Amino acid sequence: MRVVEPEGIDDLTEYEIEDRRVLERRYRTYSISALRAALPIDEVFVAHAQFMRAVNAVSRVYELARETSMPQGMYLEGPVGTGKSSVLRYFKASLPKQTLFDDERRVITIRAKKNASAAQLVGAVLRCYGYPIRRVANDTLAPRVDVTKEAIRQKGTRLIGIDEASNLLHSPTRRLASAKGDGTSATDYICEVIDDTCIGVVLLGSERLASLEQTDPALASRLTTHERLENFFYDDEWVNFARAFLGQCTGFDLSFFLSGAGLKTLHRVVEGNVRTFKRFATECCLCTANEGAGVLLESHAAKAFRAVFGGASEHQCPYAHAS
């Protein structure tokens, strides 16, 4: 799925900037052959249970949107790196193709910037429909709000996903008591669009979204489904996820991790976080391939640990004795 936003670094999240820096470091550190062999690991995907619960909730919103006058929407919150943005990408990729045209506009995705305003959201929505508008001024906001609603109707859009949706809410430094019942211009715009077009809305964001009913009850009343993605506990779900992921890392023998002790140590290293897990697994494969090997050794895991977490990390490397 393509998020239609300007590509300047100011439009990236802290974690996307970090991912970009990680990729730049890898290109400086590893051979071309190692990169070709290992970087596909970044694309490995496992549809684990809590992820699919969120996907099914999005599917329900999509199916009911525009079929009823009742608002349809949900908000998905959780820690960074648990796969919230991937939920919408996976869902959109799973939709069957219907026509040669405008399939990409059945579901559109935008990102809320810090301290997001109605004008920022309107501009982002218009760009999804091909309008060459970088910024929306306050004096042109009202007519362009109407244009976004007309575009939604004409293009048959059923669902809009808003990533980094915690930025829609009041600053966390503002007391909840003073913010209660008081939405922002951005959330007022979302409510208006839901009411006038019956489109489904999915918000994706940090744990701050969990307080939506207190901070913005008007919006919460329209987004009745609340889902959460969490870091994995060390349990059977984690074991099944890790084994399924590592088993898809074709070209590499990662059996070093697959014992009971290996999986438990791996969970402790990545703290059950999907993003960190993928980053560490990819780095392990890069270290292995860079030495012309196909079997991961403890020394490779130690090098990968230092590359991912750094020498000054508070994490103690459990593979350090192999350095």
Q: Average pLDDT over the chain, rounded to whole?
A: 88
**pLDDT-based confidence at residue 278 (cuts at 50, 70, 90):** very high
Q: So what's the pLDDT on residue 186?
A: 95
Radius of gyration of the chain measured on its C-alpha atoms:
22
pLDDT attached to residue 42: 86
**CA angle (52, 57, 61) in 5-degree steps:** 145
User: How large is the average pLDDT for residues 295-305?
Assistant: 96
Summarised one tens digit per residue, pLDDT across range 86-132 is 999 999 999 887 665 556 789 999 999 988 999 999 999 999 999 98
- Of 169, 61, 152, give the one whose Cα is nearest residue 112: 169
φ, ψ dihedrals at 76, nearest 5°: -115, 120
Cβ-contact 65, 72 below 8 angstroms? yes
Mean pLDDT, rounded, for 183-208: 95
pLDDT in tens, 30-49: 999 999 999 999 889 999 99
Q: What is the structure's pLDDT at 3?
A: 36
